């Protein structure tokens, strides 16, 4: 393959809902560029994009695929992405390195759930969009209904470049109002003929051309003046205006397609080459230090790794975009994150499993290399002494949590290794071993997302696993003052054990004044606060430990042992075994024995005295509360709100945004199990949500009773 300059490169991400035809369009794009000799199909399981067994099984894209094609002396790098929100990670990483999106619309359905979701993400990432109305050859297709749905969603941004002649099975031609030609297709392999616009279509085509010229003129003052002077613009002048409007996301050009019959593919490619921004005209990238790095072929060499995958015969494959300069085969670069040197021993242009070896790549190009020592997704490699570290891809937070365990203990180590590799390949899969919950917690974008991973574990790695609801990280605390004393005494033959501890506990409240006067069981106590130690707890909250011993009742050398016993019980709370927090402890009296007292005696005495006092101090279980934001179509608002209220949600407010209602609520984590699945069912997949931790709050009394009963039953079983 020849070396393409930055100006000759276009980086395109294919977007759209499931079954909109993205993968079929990708086949046509590669066929027209002669990268493949024949087009594969989803049904035949031989497409360039969907090469994994699980994708062929489900007949849908699950992973993003990097492809390329060559056309009109240009190289188009194409990322074919999944249509389901469960696999949004591949879309988000593609947005980082692509410069324009092609939104594939199913002409049978118009705007779908996937279209809405992908368009929102495109807006967040400031990506210009070209609309490709696909499947116009289907009997149930409707151009007019599709355009109406586009205009309802995106208003005046919708800009017709083409419209079809005929529809359904008879669709074989369209009018292009930018070129003012009719294109008719002779077969299913993209063979086209350019024809004059028929007389019966001329009036409509002329009217649409006039609208197109006016739209193009709006985006450039010089063009506007020229349009006022001449009343018309040339084809190149219209392209100039469209180029500005597209780059600024002020227009969404619309094209006609039948990817299955390769109708319209070449014109779409021509438009991308002539109008869509090249990498140097798209945008500059920022570093974590807020530096601006232009996409300059003459700059220092730098690449950004946006994806890593393990392949059976190649090992780890690193996919990257050349951010600046030129890289060559064998170049040495430095990892900006860890300082490690990396040699790019080989460079490839990628079309699925097909790889074309390259000797060099220029700023803006996208490719892959293999067997880097330590470079991972979101890392930058630089040459010429540069220390650029580009802003990382921000993946959306998880929406689905589950606990996972191998059915047989011998698979535990292998399971851990595979899960960590899965996270490296797909950062939206999050793996955490919770010491607190004593579980491996697996998080992802939805239940289907996690089930695909389970399929891989079972079918590819032969590991049987169980998925079950994760335990909830409750907290325990107290609401009033209480005291207790405990004597630990043990005698068996030689040296015995003896330690006695008297203590008080009370709730810790941030900013509250210190107190040394207490009334416990009708008795007044005035304590001498000799020493105070404050311990911020890693699980949140604090423990304040006071030494109030007078007269040498307990030797100072035993105070740390008492604290250790208390801390052990804080780590395994008396109510449910959850972490305890926000407690003040006053050790004010006790007894010791000159021979039998030792550290273990006082540790056990302190632990048990704390446990008894805790149960008298109005103990409460606290649960994690999350801020939940749901973006939902208005017609499903009532069902969604009712479901949230059944989950003990407190509705905080509502607002509107581009045809969607935004619902804010505070919901206990314990009630959010499988919420993504339930929300999808309630709204036919049209709603999305996000959740972030807010705070801990006391559980209602009836919930606490259930938790206590469950813990008591569990302890009896054990």
Domains parsed from the chain with CATH numbers: 9-201+251-281 (3.40.50.300), 285-382 (2.40.30.10), 400-468 (3.30.70.870), 476-618 (3.30.230.10), 621-703 (3.30.70.240)
The pLDDT of residue 493? 66
Question: Is the four-CA dihedral 148, 153, 154, 155 of positive or negative sign?
Answer: positive
The pLDDT of residue 164? 97
Task: Provide mean pLDDT across the span 267-272.
Answer: 98
The pLDDT of residue 486? 97
Task: Provide mean pLDDT across the span 260-286.
Answer: 95
Task: Provide mean pLDDT across the span 578-594.
Answer: 95
Task: Provide mean pLDDT across the span 116-140.
Answer: 94
**Contact call for residues 209 and 201 (beta carbons, < 8 A):** no
The pLDDT of residue 75? 98
Task: Provide mean pLDDT across the span 296-308.
Answer: 97
Q: Which helix (H) or strand (E) covers residue 311, if one does? A: strand 302-311
Helix (H, G, I), strand (E, B) or coil at 272: helix
Tell me the per-residue pLDDT of 628-641, one tens digit each, with 9 for 90 and over: 999 888 889 999 99
Nearest in space to 82 (alpha carbons), one of 30, 22, 27: 22
Rounded CA-CA distance 364/5 in Å is 8
Question: Is the four-CA dihedral 376, 439, 455, 27 of positive or negative sign?
Answer: negative
The pLDDT of residue 439? 94
SS3 content of the chain, % helix, strand, coil (to 5): 30, 35, 35
**Which positions ≥6 away from 379 have C-beta within 8 Å?**
304, 305, 335, 336, 337
The number of CA neighbours under 13 Å toward the Cβ of 689 is 30
The pLDDT of residue 458? 95
> How many residues can be counted in the chain?
718
Phi-psi region of 358 (alpha: psi -120 to 50; beta: other; left: phi over 0): beta
Tell me the per-residue pLDDT of 604-658, one tens digit each, with 9 for 90 and over: 999 999 999 999 999 999 999 999 999 888 889 999 999 999 999 999 989 887 6
Rounded CA-CA distance 610/478 in Å is 12
Which one has a higher pLDDT value, 489 or 166? 489
**Please, which pLDDT band fits residue 672 given cuts at 50, 70 and 90?**
very high
**Please, which pLDDT band fits residue 545 given cuts at 50, 70 and 90?**
very high
The pLDDT of residue 718? 59
Q: State how far the alpha carbon of 178 is from the alpha carbons of 61, 159, 565, 677, in Å.
A: 33, 11, 80, 45
Task: Provide mean pLDDT across the span 63-90.
Answer: 95
Nearest in space to 447 (alpha carbons), one of 214, 111, 678: 678
Exposure of 495 by Cβ count < 10 A (0-12 exposed, 13-18 middle, 19+ buried)?
A: exposed
Tell me the per-residue pLDDT of 194-221, one tens digit each, with 9 for 90 and over: 999 999 999 999 999 999 999 999 998 9
Tell me the per-residue pLDDT of 380-393, one tens digit each, with 9 for 90 and over: 999 999 999 999 99
Rounded CA-CA distance 648/306 in Å is 40
Is the confidence at residue 252, as pLDDT, over 90?
yes
- What is the number of other CB atoms lying within 10 angstroms of the CB of residue 175? 25
**Which positions ≥6 away from 25 have C-beta within 8 Å?**
14, 102, 104, 132, 134, 257, 259, 265
Is the confidence at residue 35, as pLDDT, over 80?
yes
Helix (H, G, I), strand (E, B) or coil at 237: helix
Of 105-114, 290-299, 683-692, where does the model show the most confidence?
290-299
**Please, which pLDDT band fits residue 352 given cuts at 50, 70 and 90?**
confident
Rounded to a whole number of angstroms, the distance between the first and last alpha carbons of the chain is: 67
Q: State how far the alpha carbon of 219 is from the alpha carbons of 215, 228, 229, 589, in Å.
A: 7, 14, 16, 82
Task: Provide mean pLDDT across the span 52-78.
Answer: 92
Give the start-end residues of each E strand in 573-675.
579-580, 583-591, 620-633, 650-657, 660-668
Would strands 158-160 and 252-256 be described as parallel, antiparallel, or unpaired?
parallel
The pLDDT of residue 284? 83
The pLDDT of residue 112? 85
Helix (H, G, I), strand (E, B) or coil at 77: strand
Helix (H, G, I), strand (E, B) or coil at 60: coil
Partner residues linked to 631 by β-bridges: 662, 688
Give the start-end residues of each E strand in 469-521.
475-477, 482-490, 497-507, 517-520
Would strands 517-520 and 326-328 be described as parallel, antiparallel, or unpaired?
unpaired
Greatest C-alpha distance within the chain:
114
What b/e sequence results for 508-535 when a residue is b if at least 16 CB atoms lie within 10 Å of its CB, and e otherwise? Answer: beeeeeeeeebeeeeeebebeeeeeeee
Tell me the per-residue pLDDT of 443-456, one tens digit each, with 9 for 90 and over: 999 999 999 999 99
Rounded CA-CA distance 117/640 in Å is 18
**Please, which pLDDT band fits residue 7 given cuts at 50, 70 and 90?**
very high
Nearest in space to 246 (alpha carbons), one of 222, 218, 276: 276
Residue 81 sits at φ, ψ, to 5 deg, of -115, 160
Nearest in space to 690 (alpha carbons), one of 280, 416, 394: 394
49-52: long-range contacts at Cβ-Cβ below 8 A with a sequence spacing of 24 or more?
Answer: 49/23, 49/80, 49/352, 50/23, 51/352, 51/353
Q: What is the pTM of this model?
A: 0.87
Nearest in space to 12 (alpha carbons), one of 285, 302, 275, 379: 275
Q: Which two tokens stand for residue 59?
A: 């007949």
Rounded CA-CA distance 255/250 in Å is 17
Helix (H, G, I), strand (E, B) or coil at 672: coil
Is the confidence at residue 328, as pLDDT, over 70?
yes
Q: Which helix (H) or strand (E) covers residue 677, if one does? A: helix 675-683
**Contact call for residues 543 and 585 (beta carbons, < 8 A):** yes
Rounded CA-CA distance 331/323 in Å is 15
Is the confidence at residue 715, as pLDDT, over 80?
no
């Amino acid at each position: 393959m020849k070396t393409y300059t930055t100006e000759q490169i276009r980086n395109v991400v294919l977007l759209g809902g499931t079954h909109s035809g993205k993968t079929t369009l990708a086949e046509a794009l590669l066929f027209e560029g002669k990268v493949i000799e024949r087009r594969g199909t989803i049904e035949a399981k031989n497409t360039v994009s969907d090469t994994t067994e699980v994708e062929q099984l489900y007949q849908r894209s699950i992973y993003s695929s990097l492809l390329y094609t060559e056309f009109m002396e240009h190289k188009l790098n194409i990322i074919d992405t999944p249509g389901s929100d469960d696999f949004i990670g591949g879309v988000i990483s593609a947005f980082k390195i692509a410069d324009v999106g092609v939104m594939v619309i199913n002409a049978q359905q118009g705007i779908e759930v996937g279209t809405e979701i992908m368009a929102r993400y495109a807006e967040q990432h400031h990506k210009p969009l070209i609309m490709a109305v696909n499947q116009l050859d289907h009997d149930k297709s409707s151009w007019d209904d599709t355009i109406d749905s586009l205009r309802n969603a995106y208003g005046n941004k919708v800009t017709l470049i083409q419209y079809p002649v005929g529809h359904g099975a008879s669709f074989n031609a369209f009018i292009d109002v930018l070129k003012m030609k009719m294109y008719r297709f002779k077969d299913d392999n993209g063979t086209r003929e350019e024809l004059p616009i028929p007389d019966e279509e001329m009036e409509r085509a002329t009217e649409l051309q006039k609208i197109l010229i006016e739209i193009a003129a709006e985006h450039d003052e010089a063009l506007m003046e020229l349009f006022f002077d001449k009343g018309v613009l040339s084809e190149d002048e219209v392209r100039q205006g469209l180029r500005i409007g597209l780059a600024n996301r002020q227009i969404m050009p619309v094209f006609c397609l039948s990817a299955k019959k390769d109708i319209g593919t070449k014109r779409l490619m021509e438009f991308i080459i002539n109008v869509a921004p090249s990498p140097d005209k798209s945008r500059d990238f920022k570093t974590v230090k807020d530096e601006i790095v232009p996409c300059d072929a003459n700059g220092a060499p730098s690449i950004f790794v946006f994806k890593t995958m393990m392949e059976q015969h190649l090992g780890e494959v690193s996919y990257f975009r050349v951010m600046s300069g030129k890289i060559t085969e064998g170049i040495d670069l430095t990892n900006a994150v860890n300082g490690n040197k990396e040699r790019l021993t080989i460079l490839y242009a990628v079309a699925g499993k097909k790889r074309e070896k390259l000797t060099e790549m220029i700023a803006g190009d996208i490719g892959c290399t293999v067997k880097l020592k330590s470079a991972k997704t979101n890392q930058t490699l630089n040459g010429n002494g540069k220390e650029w570290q580009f802003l990382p891809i921000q993946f959306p937070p998880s929406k689905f949590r589950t606990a996972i365990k191998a059915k047989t203990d011998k698979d535990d180590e292998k399971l851990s290794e595979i899960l960590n590799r899965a996270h490296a390949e797909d950062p939206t899969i999050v793996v955490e071993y919770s010491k607190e919950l004593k579980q491996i917690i697996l998080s992802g974008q939805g239940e289907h997302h996690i089930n695909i991973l389970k399929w891989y574990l079972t079918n590819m790695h032969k590991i049987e696993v169980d998925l079950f609801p994760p335990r909830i990280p409750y907290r325990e605390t107290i609401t009033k003052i209480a005291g207790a004393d405990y004597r630990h005494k043990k005698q068996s033959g030689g040296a015995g054990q003896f330690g006695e501890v008297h203590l008080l506990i009370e709730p810790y409240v941030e900013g509250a004044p210190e107190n040394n006067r207490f009334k416990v069981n009708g008795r007044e106590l005035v304590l001498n606060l000799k020493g105070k130690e404050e311990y911020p707890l890693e699980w949140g909250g604090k423990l304040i430990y006071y030494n109030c011993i007078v007269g040498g009742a307990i030797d100072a050398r035993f105070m740390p042992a008492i604290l250790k016993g208390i801390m052990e019980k804080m780590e395994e709370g008396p109510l449910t075994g959850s972490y305890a927090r926000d407690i003040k402890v006053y050790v004010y009296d006790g007894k010791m024995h000159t021979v039998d007292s030792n550290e273990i005696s006082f540790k056990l005495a302190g632990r048990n005295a704390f446990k008894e006092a805790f149960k008298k101090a109005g103990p409460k279980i606290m649960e994690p509360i999350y801020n939940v934001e749901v973006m939902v179509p208005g017609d499903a608002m009532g069902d969604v709100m009712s479901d949230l209220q059944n989950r003990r949600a407190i509705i905080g407010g509502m607002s509107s945004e581009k045809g969607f209602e935004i619902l804010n609520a505070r919901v206990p984590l314990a009630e959010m199990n499988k919420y993504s699945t339930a929300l999808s069912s309630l709204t036919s997949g049209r709603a999305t949500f996000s959740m972030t931790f807010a705070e801990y709050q006391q559980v209602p009394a009836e919930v606490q009773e259930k938790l206590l009963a469950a813990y008591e039953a569990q302890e009896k079983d054990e």
